[in-house]
Chains A and B, each alone.
Chain A
């Protein structure tokens, strides 16, 4: 009980929930995302999140820019020209021609809807001094707005940069995986709206199976770059409750390649601090004793 890193099968049970439902999660399959942003709007409508700025960013079709206190789903757009495969031998190769030819074929536009990862080991929750952040019976991580006092400790603790404080009220806000809806047997608003089932909601175990099969299928269909992100219980956060199928490296989507729960080293830090304290006390004692001898 009370683990803060490493694989953990029963997250809700570990947080003291008895007879709890299966751990629920999001599987976001970016290979079928059409970048419509229905998830962003459905989330805002359900959770009554304020509009947060009319800024033309020029970052492709992404004018949302990232997850924040006022954006709990964010669709990233990546316009990408894949490098031309270098030939073995450049003799007689019209390199400029190759570059010009590949224009349409090698261009792709990646879209991905990002969200709070609902980590198995959630540093935001570990550092929350008020108990505002808590682990639900579904294994998700939720901020209780009636408890949060706006201290902001959770903000730097998140390895993904998800949780954020709202400017006007100071409290921390992020995706709740629609805790109120799922408690009533409904899907979260984003997953329900998603036109192409890019966002899928369900028991995490099932989603992981489905995702593995999808990757296999894509590999068979000639998409070798398909890979899962956040699905591995052995990763630095013990696996994510919201994981993704990506078509490129995570960094391309603005995701950290190897996130680690920022509290992972707390026990050893405490041990080290303790050792240091003991050493210090020992040293002082020794010095004192040595002084007395003189």
Chain B
């Protein structure tokens, strides 16, 4: 460069000679500035991925430079997220590349006081040894009554909703083969009641619609969900609907960021939603606002119920069939008239049905409705018969008047009227309304029935299966839908096939006969089960050995994560895997979780950082209070660093039931590995050990397991695509299957999860399809793949009238093309493509052929949407308002206060509160509800370590109204201590008018909001809200009640050391709490 050029670079020269005489623009530009290139432009490659946080499933683009991730941002091609990300998704670069992640295996020896380092190989071999030893020592061939169970209760695992479908598949497959039944994940504690509620109502347990379709809604009711905060990017579709003129309603105990954008905010007392929904149902029926043609044709409104049935109207809050002593319902009297509901297999051993009831089978209706028995139910299409479902429904909800709604929920008649009016004015032939809910509904002792109430309402209004309608069950983990579909859940096999229960004469035929519905697609259950067994045991599964059905371990009741924690305390369960879940702060009654872990022989924690579940033995709350001493704890702890979503390939199933494939961007660093790698290699090591020295008969299921996945790359990563192909299934010729309609029950097909059959059709990974949303209509059928069969709106046959014509042009979705003789439209028809609207099943037809051309709910035994659930739920055929386990009020509707068959465990560590008019209830006068904030995620394992997120919500706080602050002398910004019979925690005080005191039963009730993200570890720390909650469960699915508790609140910080449990004991004494408290009606 010559001197002249150098001079030209001098800004002063440029200022004097150019047009920028003041030197404020072009002349001032420096060489560095001129050379700026964004790192997105200099990256070596861009990898398509999916956000690992909530279940919206936002598309991500991962930029890689020199084998390092340098930037993660939204993928504009995604029709779901349109390139946008929330703060958590935006912080996923920090999550995956930040220094909070561990990359070394750590080991805590029994009674050790600190971590030691261990190499990964040694750790894997030690873990394999532990599994083999513990399994060997605890293996049971038979239960106490001598029934064959072939299992171990010595080992358990928890976690899966943050993992990939392929990982969940391998975990469930390996552990089931080992005889481990206590396999659970976040789906239990988040949305298990969704599966039961939606499944029994419609036949499938997933959201009936997809988020993008909310843009077509005329009214959206968000209740039991803080949509804008917990699913911010999904909320764009609500904003879109609002921009198009839809009315947005938010019903919630707190005025949240969702309420801020709603047209109508309705404050409600936590735990009273069924009373509100029942009130709306009563309004809809009473004012004739229900959609008669839809209801008569598509629901079971006309079906006549057994004359033995007695409603809560007759029995003061109970249904017929209650055995008060065992606290179980015999639900035979709830059945349809004229149907034989006796189990088809006949010779049941005594106690079998009781065990099934105890376990609850609600979740097994996730992809197939409950069986209603053999025969044709009687109907009265005029809906006049006093025992038809419609009349029973009408009578059941007749007492849910606006006055009762006010009395129970604290909602004024004016607000209630506006809510009803908005919903009914926007439902019908030409208009549709949608409901969106989340864990505000699911996490109750009557959680499944909350969902059922919304199902009934949406069926009455004709809003299911139609554009702009439906029920969106907003899921909160990247693949929590997937971890239900391919369940790391104790009671399910892939595709919502129930885990078999122990039974004297159990074989495949008896198993299928007991559960398969006579009609509808669930009638083909034997094909689904056989194909699964073939996928798992290949050539070893033959017709002669019942396709290895006996290899499956058997249940003898409930083995949910809560029962597992108690079994750990009782010394039954000795080994525990935690894979991406943090129960030490995230599960109800966190103390029980920790005490359980403190009683284990060994614990394996796979996570990014040292979460509370990994370190409780050295710095947990019990160490501080002196209840436990590190040196006394014998649990051996392995910490194995996990690979991040950018470091492994696999699929997540989002809240739309859509499977989206992520490609691996980089290899995991250090000793971090995927859970696919961990499970595969653990299985390999265990098989080596068992082959060498095992008990062949016991170990056959493990040794004969198909476990030969190809591995790739420097780390021997098993091929996730090979696993997905197995899940999809193969035909007799070895070709990839394309539809579950191809599955056979003769062993000629294999399929790891029948509802996912088609995801690898034609040998193409359909989940990896990424045709830009901008090049498709709103259905975006060529973006990824949704179960079932790529249908995006379920039951969409109902978008057309019985003749097959759209109810209205404005709401057309799928219709019958008579000329072509097939169903067609915007979405893939959720119906047999060539079944004409006038098809009537011939006498005696079973399976799909037994369903008529006007029955949209093809997985239901009668093809109908169920207003009344004659089977499938253990706590009643109709949702009924019951008070939460711990409540300041008696039930004003009935003598029965609480769900009569709820599950309670009164143990020293899990004491319950007096409620309503019981003496001592006033010691805990306030309602507590727990929730998420936008800035954090679940129990905090993926956000509390992130500085960018921590600074946005840096401390644990409670939200209270100014009136409560005055009543308890709580100072804004100061400290408060919140106390229950379980524990006491401290938090900062946020006094806000967003918390509204309500008038309920003539008195003012205050509610306290507690975000549950915190714990003692991480970059931002605080007490965990789950120290306060109790284990009190919905009997259908064992989900805990953490959305409505009672508590006391007082100013100041909580006591330290032994003074903390002493404070709790003092409260227990003041409230007169005994082991019987809270266990009655």
Contact = CB atoms under 8 A, between A and B. Distances in A.
A252 B810 CA distance: 42
A178 B415 CA distance: 46
B239 interface: yes
Interface string B962-995: 0000000000110000000000000010101110
Interface string A180-217: 11011010010011111100000000000000000000
B84 A184 contact: no
A193 B59 CA distance: 12
Contacts of A18: 19, 26
B992 A79 contact: yes
Interface in A15-57: 15-18, 32, 34-38, 40-42, 44-46, 51-57
B84 A108 contact: no
Interface string B949-960: 111111101000
Interface in B286-307: none
Nearest to A51: B947
A145 B192 CA distance: 53
The residue among A12, A128, A134 with the most chain B CB atoms within 10 A of its own CB is A134
B993 A38 contact: no
A53 B1020 CA distance: 11
Interface residues of B, number: 76
B643 interface: no
Contacts of B71: 45-46
A192 to B, nearest CB: 6
Contact of A183 (B36, B85, B933): B36
Interface stretch (A58-66, A167-175, A226-234, A236-244): A58-66
Contacts of B1: none
A34 B261 contact: yes
Contacts of B19: 1, 13, 16, 18
B228 interface: yes
A132 B72 CA distance: 30
B948 A125 contact: no
The residue among B23, B26, B229, B1020 with the most chain A CB atoms within 10 A of its own CB is B26
B21 interface: yes
Given A34-B232, A52-B951, A16 B18 contact: yes
B261 A32 contact: yes
A189 B73 contact: yes
A235 interface: no
B633 to A, nearest CB: 31
B780 interface: no
Contact of A181 (B40, B235, B955): B40
A181 B38 contact: yes
B812 to A, nearest CB: 28
Contacts of A134: 24-25, 28-29, 33
Contacts of A81: 993
Contacts of B415: 104
B680 to A, nearest CB: 33
Contacts of B36: 179-180, 183
Contact of A184 (B38, B90, B988): B38
Given A37-B934, A63-B953, A104-B265, A126 B24 contact: yes
The residue among B20, B40, B91 with the most chain A CB atoms within 10 A of its own CB is B20
B577 interface: no
A145 B31 CA distance: 11
Contacts of A61: 257, 933, 953
Interface string B157-183: 000000000000000000000000000
B22 interface: yes
A45 B90 contact: yes
B84 A194 contact: yes
B342 interface: no
A135 interface: yes
B692 interface: no
B343 interface: no
Interface string A115-126: 000000000011
Interface in B1-38: 11, 18-30, 32-33, 36-38
B504 interface: no
The residue among A61, A79, A110, A181 with the most chain B CB atoms within 10 A of its own CB is A61
B935 interface: yes
A19 to B, nearest CB: 11
B87 A38 contact: yes
Contacts of B85: 38, 42, 193, 195
A192 B18 CA distance: 36
Given A64-B952, A126-B24, A104 B267 contact: yes
A111 B260 contact: yes
Contacts of A290: none
A79 B788 CA distance: 44
Contacts of B442: none
A12 B27 CA distance: 12
A89 interface: no
Contacts of A2: 21-22
A64 B84 CA distance: 22
B93 A14 contact: no
A196 B988 contact: no
Contacts of B267: 104
B538 to A, nearest CB: 46
Contacts of A284: none
Contact of A107 (B86, B94, B993): B993
Interface string B66-92: 000001111000000001111111110
A184 B37 contact: yes
Interface in A126-157: 126, 128, 131-137, 142, 144-147
B24 A58 contact: no
A45 B934 CA distance: 17
A103 interface: yes
B229 to A, nearest CB: 7
B259 interface: yes
Interface string B881-900: 00000000000000000000
Contact of A41 (B30, B91, B260): B91
B253 to A, nearest CB: 12
Nearest to B956: A56
A131 B948 contact: no
B275 interface: no
Contact of B37 (A137, A142, A180): A180
A197 B236 CA distance: 8
A16 B228 contact: no
Given A46-B71, A131-B23, A36 B955 contact: no
Interface string A70-85: 0000000001010000
A195 B26 contact: no
Contacts of A44: 948
Nearest to A13: B19
Interface of A: 1-2, 12-18, 32, 34-38, 40-42, 44-46, 51-58, 60-61, 63-64, 79, 81, 103-104, 107-111, 125-126, 128, 131-137, 142, 144-147, 178-181, 183-184, 186, 189, 192-197
Interface of B: 11, 18-30, 32-33, 36-38, 40-41, 71-74, 83-91, 93-94, 228-229, 232-233, 235-236, 239, 255, 257-261, 265-267, 415, 933-935, 947-955, 957, 972-973, 988, 990, 992-994, 996, 1019-1020
27 contacts: A18-B19, A32-B261, A34-B934, A41-B88, A41-B91, A51-B950, A54-B951, A58-B972, A64-B951, A81-B993, A104-B255, A104-B267, A109-B255, A109-B994, A110-B260, A131-B11, A137-B26, A147-B30, A180-B37, A189-B90, A192-B73, A193-B73, A195-B84, A195-B85, A195-B86, A196-B236, A197-B236
Closest 10 pairs (CB-CB, A-B):
A15-B25, A16-B20, A54-B954, A51-B947, A131-B28, A16-B26, A58-B973, A134-B28, A56-B955, A135-B25
Given A16-B25, A34-B239, 19 more contacts: A15-B22, A18-B26, A34-B229, A34-B258, A35-B257, A36-B257, A40-B952, A45-B948, A54-B950, A56-B988, A63-B952, A64-B952, A104-B266, A134-B28, A144-B32, A145-B32, A146-B32, A178-B38, A196-B235
